[in-house]
Amino acid sequence: MSAVIDLAKDLIRRPSVTPKDAGCQHVIAERLAKIGFTNEPMFFVDTLNTWSRKGQDKPNVCFAGHTDVVPVGDEKKWRFEPFAATEHEGYLHGRGAADMKGSLAAMVVATERFVASHPEHKGSISFLITSDEEGPFINGTTRVIDTLEARNEKIDMCIVGEPSSTDKLGDVVKNGRRGSLTAYLTVKGKQGHVAYPHLADNPVHHASGFLQALCQEKWDEGNEFFPATSMQISNINAGTGAGNVIPGELEVQFNFRYSTELTAEQIKSRVVALLGEHKVNYDLDWTHNGQPFITEPGELTTAVQGAIEEQMGYQAELQTSGGTSDGRFIAPTGAKVIELGPRNATIHQVDECVSCDDLEKLALIYEGILRRLLT
């Protein structure tokens, strides 16, 4: 019998595809209430969130995670039913096993054990749980943070349970993330017949110089925590599909993953300047998916790396690579944020699974972090 695996199975069996929670947060809240937490459900539009806290003193150490999962796709391609939570040959299979119901189970059990061993611990422990991390991320963590900020309730240190590990549990800890900024560019022209170009205006031709310059631009050098900012064109579309029609407009979508050397406004300004240099007639819209953040080596990273080394026998590497997470909404409040969870080898894939032994050790690592920070 394993408290961590049993709870993970209970959560996986609940088909909580974004933004559904399917009762996961109720299960977690009930367990936290039994050890002294006050639970505050926060429902925004279509998303259930839960803010749970034990204690009022500083530091407030928060576990952050999400109960929602991505769709399973064609269930016939799965070896085991995606919501059956099947344990087989040392692995727990199911949608959300690695991302991130396994982490949530480890967090809850670690907290139960820590409170039992240290009932008079200093500071506070909190949980911020959402069911809107895998979707539009509009009514989830960002709305909870807005609520907490409005009443000046602060998180001092935060452990996000995203699957950060690469080759083995705890080999990588994310101590920051790059910012993400997406541009939606429409280059305007005039549709016409290819045999009569003087009666049309080809937006693809007008945009070609700009796009080449955009790809060749060096945005920054990066720094000790971040690689240089990168730009990638992700979608481009023009024309009717007919070979004898000059398109009337060109649509281009491109994304920046940027470091703390730049701001979103600086990037926008430089893109507009390039468009002007190449005399492009355009409309331009932006979506800012998150600012970059960094948690420099200090009390939190020392506690995390120490707890990993105690259980695993090796030093975790601090990295800022990868995509975005809900840490981007928490860090701007001044909180120190890291991400630590199981291996990410199967996340969002058919036959998602996690090592049962890794989940057991992850709970011990989380408990060790609490012990280092709150005793």
Residue set of the binding site? 66, 99, 134, 162, 348
Taking CA 35 as the corner, what is the angle to CA 1 and CA 102, rounded to the nearest 5 degrees? 45
Instruction: Tell whether omega for the bond before 292 is within 30 degrees of 0, i.e. cis.
Output: no
SS3 181: strand
Put the strands of the sheet holding 124-130 in their side by side order.
38-44, 47-54, 124-130, 60-66, 157-160, 336-339, 172-174, 317-319
Task: Measure Cα distances from 235 to 199, 202, 252, 293 in Å.
Answer: 28, 19, 6, 27
- Helix pair angle (356-374, 299-312), 10° resolution: 140
68 assigned to active site: yes
In the set 133, 352, 358, 367, the catalytic residue is 133
146 assigned to active site: no
Binding residues for Zn(2+), by number, are: 66, 99, 134, 162, 348
Taking CA 12 as the corner, what is the angle to CA 98 and CA 103, rounded to the nearest 5 degrees? 40
Residues 350 and 73 sit within 8 Å (Cβ to Cβ): yes
Q: List the one residue out of 55, 54, 45, 39 whose CA is nearest residue 18.
A: 45
| Spatial separation of the C-alpha atoms in residues 90 and 239, rounded to whole Å | 53
Residues 248 and 189 sit within 8 Å (Cβ to Cβ): yes
In the set 21, 68, 358, 367, the catalytic residue is 68
Go through 256-281 and write b for each residue having 16 or more CB atoms within 10 A of its CB, e for each that does not: bbbbbebebeebbeebeebbeebebe
Tokens 């016939």 belong to which residue? 76
Please name the amino acid found at residue 153: E
Backbone angles phi, psi at 361, to 5 degrees: -70, -35
- Helix pair angle (24-33, 3-12), 10° resolution: 150
Which residue numbers are catalytic? 68, 133
